[in-house]
Amino acid sequence: MTSPAAPAVEKVISRAWGTPHSHTLAEYRKRGGYEALKKALEMAPQAVLEEVKKSNLRGRGGAGFPTGMKWSFVPKDSPKPKYLAVNGDESEPGTFKDRYILEEDPHLMLEGIAIAAWALDVHTCYVYLRGEFKFAAQRLQAAIDEAYREGIFGKKMLGKDFELNVWLVRGAGAYICGEETALLESLEGKKGWPRLKPPFPAVVGLFGCPTVVNNVETLASVPPIFQRGADWYAKLGTEKSGGTRLICLSGSVNRPGVYEISMATTLRQLIEDPDLGGGMPAGRKVKAVIPGGSSAPVLAADELDVALEFEALKVKQTMAGSGGVIVMDDRTCMVRSLWRVARFYAEESCGQCTPCREGTPWQTRLLRKIEEGRGEPEDLEMLLNVATSIAPYPPIGLGTTICALGDAAALPVHSFVARFRAEFEAHIHEKRCPFGDRPWGHFGDWA
């Protein structure tokens, strides 16, 4: 059987990747860099905002919220200064696209920052970067320095009487700081605990002032909108999701990596297209796929004909998330895999909310017990009961915790058990893992 071909796509974000010195300002300008900013600066700020709305650009960090609408929530008459915070704390397991933007083409994001700042009347931007991204931080800081030297940032933006200062801040490795309000707390020098909402950051954000928090890929998508027009960008995508998107493909495929795809590309096409995933390793079949980072509910092998687009995946009661597609083959133990995911969220919980603080390690202990052949039938029901106490499924997004980490910990439990319950029951009835001993070391007594 011939592998299905993915829809043809015009590269928007990754077109310069792999070319010599693509990260430098000189090479960026050869590709028309900062021409989009010149166009935006000739427009009224409100017109810039309306163009972004028209493009149907949606956030690429996880939630997929319409970018133009998010910008419009910032009050125009506020006497307080406004801020832009860039979320580069890419910590979702299975996700590794933003770091490539920062390493290969950082000026694309910086130009997006400048356009957003003009539209929002923002004069200070903080780029919050995952602390482990040392090379990306070096590339980004060098690009920021170039932008200052060339009069893009600083007192005047390309000669216009508009000041913009951009600061790079590196985190300390906490997953929770990828949540936008925890990120703001960390930027203020405090412990990265998520805030109660409302008020939302657009009204009360950084230092109590109106703030927009955007993902790296989201802002990198802004310059092409002004280079080629909002209509062009919108037509690249689907009805409600404009443009292309970056997908991080990992797991049991022949060609793992970062790919820029059409929103109409299906999971099956992503995995099997010879120019993308290149199919499965010899003798292996797809068993399950996580479509949007480890927090996204898992899909089974018979659910692969779904587009990697926000609305299409919502119908499957999962989400596009941060674009981290993880492929598991028929040799994978789903109990063991879920145990590993659950352990991650238990370790990364900030402990502020009781359901998350108590529930995530409880899930981990139950999964370890089942995986090691010590499980009882009531443990599976207890596992689902604990997950439901953290976040019901479906619908998504109605958890009992301040931020979405509780949802991220509970939704995989619900979906793994719903789609692979027989495997969990086999562990319990056979008093062993049917897939053999786990390949990694001891997790510790609590896990």
The CATH number of the domain holding residue 413 is 1.20.1440.230
The distance from CA 427 to its chain's CA centroid, rounded to whole angstroms, is 33
Kindly give, in sequence order, each residue whose CB lies less than 8 Å from that of residue 106, ignoring residues fewer than 6 positions away.
23, 139, 140, 142, 143
Query: Cβ contacts of residue 230 below 8 Å, gap of 6+?
Result: 51, 52, 54, 55, 242
Which pLDDT belongs to residue 447?
A: 47
In a domain, 398, yes or no: yes
**Total number of residues shown for the chain:** 447
Cα separation, 250 vs 317, whole angstroms = 22
pTM: 0.93
- pLDDT, position 173: 87
**pLDDT (0 to 100) of residue 347:** 96
Cα–Cα dist 254/258, whole Å: 13
- Does residue 307 fall inside a structural domain? no
Tokens of 149: 């030297």
Residue 228, domain extent = 25-234
CB 428 within 8 A of CB 375: yes
Structure tokens at 396: 């998504």
What pLDDT does 98 receive? 96
Interatomic CA distance for residues 280 and 260, integer angstroms = 20
DSSP, collapsed to helix, strand or coil, labels residue 91 as coil
My answer on whether 208 and 341 are in the same domain is: no
The strand order across the sheet containing 211-215 reads: 165-170, 124-129, 83-88, 211-215
| Statement to judge: residues 57 and 182 lie in one domain | yes
Residues 227 and 352 in one domain: no
Residue 272 lies in a domain: no
Boundary of a domain, candidates 234, 259, 283: 234
User: Which CATH number belongs to the domain containing residue 88 in this structure?
Assistant: 3.40.50.11540
User: Contact at 8 Å (CB) between 271 and 290?
Assistant: no
Q: What is the mean pLDDT of each run of 10 residues along the chain (447 residues)?
A: 74 96 98 97 97 95 90 94 97 94 98 98 97 96 98 96 97 93 97 94 97 97 97 93 95 97 95 96 96 95 95 92 95 96 96 96 98 96 96 77 94 96 97 78 41
What are the CA-CA distances from residue 31 to residues 24, 216, 427 (Å)? 11, 20, 56
Residues 233 and 225: their CA atoms lie apart, in Å, by 6
Concatenated DSSP letters of 134-183: HHHHHHHHHHHHHHHHTTSSBSSBTTBS--BEEEEEE--S-GGGGSHHHH
Same-domain status, 60 and 188: yes
* Residue that terminates a domain, selected from 234, 262, 284: 234
Name the E strands within 295-439.
Answer: 299-300, 324-329
Q: Give the torsion sign (CA, 350, 440, 280, 428).
A: negative
Residue 131 within a domain: yes
Task: Evaluate whether 358 touches 409 at the Cβ level (below 8 Å).
Answer: no
227 within a domain of the structure (yes/no): yes
Final residue of a structural domain among 174, 202, 234: 234
Residue 11 lies in a domain: no
The CA-atom distances, in angstroms, between 251 and each of 2, 76, 117, 277, 328 are 22, 46, 38, 10, 6
Q: In this structure, is residue 151 part of a structural domain? A: yes
Query: Are both 341 and 222 inside the same structural domain?
Result: no
Confirm whether 15 is domain-assigned: no
**Cα dist from 126 to 25, 87, 251, 368, whole Å:** 20, 9, 33, 41
Number of domains in the chain: 2
| Token output for 176 | 């929770």
